[in-house]
Amino acid sequence: MQIQDTIWSIMINFSSIQTIFTNFYNQWLLGGPTRIKKKLLLSKALSNMLLWDTVRKKNWIQRNNMKKQL
């Protein structure tokens, strides 16, 4: 069960990062943005990754706490 949870979280994490960077790359190409826009897009992609990471850690902590209670 633990291995399955770990594999699942890795898959979800990878797909979300892939989506973030795909969106970032598409916006970069299609928009033909200026240097400022590129910096904004990059910072947005990085903040999305950080946000996802904190959510994942919170879920992990909650799951471990629930297992300890059982």
**CB burial string 38-60: b at 16+ within 10 A, e below:** eeebeeebeebeeeeeeeeeeee
**How do the domains of the chain map onto residue ranges?**
2-69
The model's pLDDT over 12-65, given as tens digits with 9 standing for 90+, comes to: 667 777 777 777 777 766 665 566 676 777 777 777 777 777 778 888 888 888
pLDDT of residue 45: 77
Q: Is the entire prediction scored with pTM above 0.85?
A: no
pLDDT of residue 1: 60
